[in-house]
Copies of this chain bind each other. A is one copy, B any other.
Amino acid sequence: MKKLLPLFFLGLTTILFAQTAQDQQSIKEIFNEALKNGKAYPLLKDLCLNIGPRLSGSPGAAAAVEWSRHIMESNDFDSVWLQPVMVPHWVRGQKEIARVINSKKMGTMNLSVCALGNSVGTGPAGVSAPVVEVKSFEELKQLGAKAIQGKIVFFNRPMDPTQINTFAAYGGAVDQRGGGASEAAKLGAVAVIVRSMGINLEDYPHTGSMRYAENVPKIPAIAVSTKHAELLSKLVKEEKELQVYIETHCEMLDDAPSYNVVGQLNGSEYKEEIIVIGGHLDSWDLAQGAHDDGAGCVQAIEVLRLFKMLGIKPKRTLRAVMFMNEENGLRGGMKYAELAKVKKEKHIAAIESDEGGFTPRGFSMMATDAVKNKIKSWKPLFEAYGLTDFNHPGGGADISPLAPSGTALIDFSPDTQRYFDYHHTPEDTIDKVSPRELEMGAAAMAALVFLIDKYGL
């Protein structure tokens, strides 16, 4: 026995080495195919240039649904289907106006603004009022109803540029956009202007969703470009009587029918175990939605295409899911999880790419420690491709409704240093996407799916 044990371990070690070498080889083939013949970039170009903006409920969104179905069918996936879901149908209407109307220094001056998604409009009469600048909800509350009543509240706390994680900087500022209108309305404000969620000083505003609290008057909300936020702040400080005129024509219509689009490769051994790879198909109305989140959609499709091209027959069932309505409702993500529950489907993992089509850096996770450790144990297989960051918590919006069912949630984590230069703006266009970075992201996701499929979780 004493002699056999070392031999046993030697044998085990040999097997493990061989397995690692095999996995290295498979992952190399995945990256090679993606980097030589990847189709994510041409697909994204098509989506951006021939469909373009696709806000939930819009004709663009409907076209994107048909486009996705067509692409997945023409890739010959085992099955492709639509999941009907009712979505909010918000429309911007004619171009917004915001102007400083009585500046001693500047006279009348237009501000670079856009309505925030889900906001009510002012209608053609518009709103004129003095402006009160605040940096936080706390400051707003301290000022109190007396100071706020009848005013336009200007939320001007910038994203913190010293945060290396740009999503943390976003998280530290976005409460103003999401909840600012209702917080201000509680104190009698007539409208809000929110500094755009961008780190640089820019000429263009960033749109994005806001939500109204229940039983609070709904007041119009707009975003202002970071440059004009700086200017407005200066004017407000210098001129106590300063007034701004806002005119927006946006409105929330009745919910509209739309769809998640799902394409599947059937598992050969554990068909009932499903691995979701997803992105969201809707984008803001002002953007091509190249990085947000056309990139995630085409990468999800590309993962399945890579499996097919390389002749890798998945043991488990792989699904590319184009979620609808991430931007202003998350109805698609909720519908997907609801249907999964009704059908008693077992989702072992869901991977979302919704942080842009940039160079891959790693994966973030929300899962049990055992699952996280298993995935981290694969890190050496990824390091040669520059993926070294497996330590952050995460789990994208669309897949988050799967959490209660115990699904491991995984976010693809690219380099996001320039993500918020484009996010929710007309600058989010195909020319901001590097073909190579995008394809590498798809390869990284395919490699992770390969390992999860092979070893389970």
CB pair B417 A164 closer than 8 Å:
no
- Chain B residues with CB under 8 Å of A271's CB are none
Tell whether A421 is near chain B: CB-to-CB under 8 Å.
Answer: yes
CB pair A415 B415 closer than 8 Å:
yes
Tell whether A94 is near chain B: CB-to-CB under 8 Å.
Answer: no
CA distance A200 to B35 in the complex (A): 10
- Chain B residues with CB under 8 Å of A361's CB are 386
CB pair B440 A417 closer than 8 Å:
yes
CB pair A436 B418 closer than 8 Å:
yes
Nearest-neighbour CB distance to chain B for A387, whole angstroms, equals 10
* Dominant secondary structure of chain A at its interface with chain B: loop
CA distance A162 to B31 in the complex (A): 7
CA distance A434 to B420 in the complex (A): 11
How many copies of the chain does the oligomer comprise?
Answer: 2
CA distance A384 to B163 in the complex (A): 10
Tell whether A137 is near chain B: CB-to-CB under 8 Å.
Answer: no
CB pair B418 A162 closer than 8 Å:
no
In A184-236, the 8 Å CB interface with B consists of 199-200
Residue of B nearest to A384 (CB): B164
CA distance A287 to B162 in the complex (A): 32
CA distance A111 to B164 in the complex (A): 45
CB pair A161 B417 closer than 8 Å:
no
CA distance A222 to B347 in the complex (A): 56
Binding site for B on A (CB under 8 A): 31-32, 35-36, 161-162, 164, 199-200, 359, 361, 384-386, 388, 415, 417-418, 421, 434-437, 440
A–B pairs, 19, beta carbons within 8 Å: A31-B162, A31-B164, A32-B162, A35-B161, A164-B384, A164-B440, A200-B435, A200-B436, A359-B415, A361-B386, A386-B415, A388-B388, A417-B434, A417-B436, A417-B437, A417-B440, A418-B434, A418-B437, A421-B434
In the complex, besides A199-B436, A388-B388, A415-B415, 20 extra interface pairs with C-beta distance below 8 angstroms are: A31-B162, A31-B164, A32-B162, A35-B161, A36-B162, A164-B385, A164-B386, A164-B440, A200-B435, A359-B359, A359-B417, A361-B386, A386-B415, A417-B434, A417-B436, A417-B437, A417-B440, A418-B434, A418-B437, A421-B434
